[in-house]
Amino acid sequence: MKSRESLIRLKRFQVDEKRRQVTSIESMIAEMVRMAKDLDDQIVSEQNRVGIHDVTHYAYPTFAKAAMTRRDNLKVSIQGLEAQLAAARDGLSEAVEDLKKVELLDERDQGRERDVRDAREQEAMDEMASRRHAWR
């Protein structure tokens, strides 16, 4: 029984760890999305300040070009993190399923033990009742 309890604790730890991993990746994605939006705002601001919106124009601001490159790199990173997030969510789902299986097995075993214990108690009560009845 102790090994089953240890297994349940291990499975719960794994679920918690997977959950933390998913949350961490989601936070990183949210932060990168925010940063990309800030860069978009900076690009538009710089374009409006200079008055040139055509990226191919010879006088297009260097800052805006650099911000576009950073933004595009962030978007690529976000795509990579989204793939990691999907894998992490799959791992979390599997860990939750494993935990449920072990918990169900434990519940079933406890139910069996309870049934055996109840049956023994009932036998003892029946025995006492038959002795009491026999004394009369």
Tens of pLDDT, residue by residue over 100-120, are: 999 998 888 887 778 778 778
Output the CATH code of domain 2-135. Answer: 1.10.287.1490
Q: Evaluate whether 2 touches 55 at the Cβ level (below 8 Å).
A: no
Closest CA to 22 of 94, 99, 85, 79: 85
DSSP state of 59: T
Q: pLDDT by residue (tens digit) across 12-66?
A: 999 999 999 999 999 999 999 999 999 999 999 999 999 999 999 999 999 999 9
| HSE-CB of 129 using CA atoms within 13 angstroms | 6
Q: What are phi and psi of 41, to 5 degrees?
A: -60, -40
CA distance 63 to 58: 13
